[in-house]
Amino acid sequence: MRFTIISKNDEKSKKTRSYITNELEKRGMKEDKIKPEIIISIGGDGTLLGAFHMYQHLLTETMFVGVHTGNLGFYADFHPEESDLLIDLIDRREFVKTEFPLVHVKVHTDDGEENHLALNETTLKMVQGSTLAIDVGIGGKPFEKFRGDGICISTPSGSTAYNKSLGGALIHPSFQSIQLTEIASINNRVFRTIGSSIILPSHHTLNVYPNKNDTHLLTIDHLHFQLNGISSIEYKVAEETIKFARFRHFPFWHRVRESFISS
């Protein structure tokens, strides 16, 4: 099996990376940074997000597994002290593929069209922190006029991240959906929004129409883009999915409990 490892730059992660690399190569596996069959992320969720964006062009050909060396690793199944177990399981190919939905973001600007994929979430805000003013449509029909700090569109797995801190719902990754959550919306007798999160199925499309004369800040997970002349942005459940190699049963709600409730 061809593998590659993306690790955080701290000593614990680098030491774990070196050990796993050496042991996998001893078993006849080959490190391949160009077309890996499995990508091992060592660090936290930020490390896995970086690995996802580095290899998103290979989503149909590769899968991910996480080793947690940070403070919170929602996507990780293993700890460094379990490295030998992970190595054995990879060697024996004892895994099942689990697929999680992604958000597809299509941005129309004066310069053309650009497309992005987000694993956790994408947000739209103003660059200087001023009020974001957009028209929101669902399924090609007008829905509301939003005024506030911004909007967050998350995947089910990303619902536990920024979306949760905004008061959005937690959604099981088996649901093919995206979620729109407001960021400090203005609600008075002049401006009025729905005020709660909206969950859209895979056959629905969310459209936003900003002021083309404004400069906007678009985030895709940890990436930031400053854009001018945006005429519209389309959000929907992506046709692509991210595949995780699951070597043992680790239910979503157990992850939620371990991450946010258990001490």
Whose tokens are 């005024």? That residue is: 147
Query: How many other β-carbons are positioned within 10 Å of the β-carbon of residue 1?
Result: 14
Residue 133 Cα distances to 47, 110, 177, 191, 212, angstroms: 33, 19, 25, 10, 11
Q: Which residues are catalytic?
A: 45
Distance of CA 76 to the CA centre of its chain: 14
The β-bridge partners of 124 are 151, 218
The H-or-E segment that residue 84 falls in is helix 83-92
DSSP states along 168-208? PPP--TTS-EEEEEEEEE--SSS-----S-EEEETT--EEE
Contact at 8 Å (CB) between 235 and 178?
Answer: yes
167: alpha, beta or left, given left = phi > 0 and alpha = psi -120 to 50? Answer: left
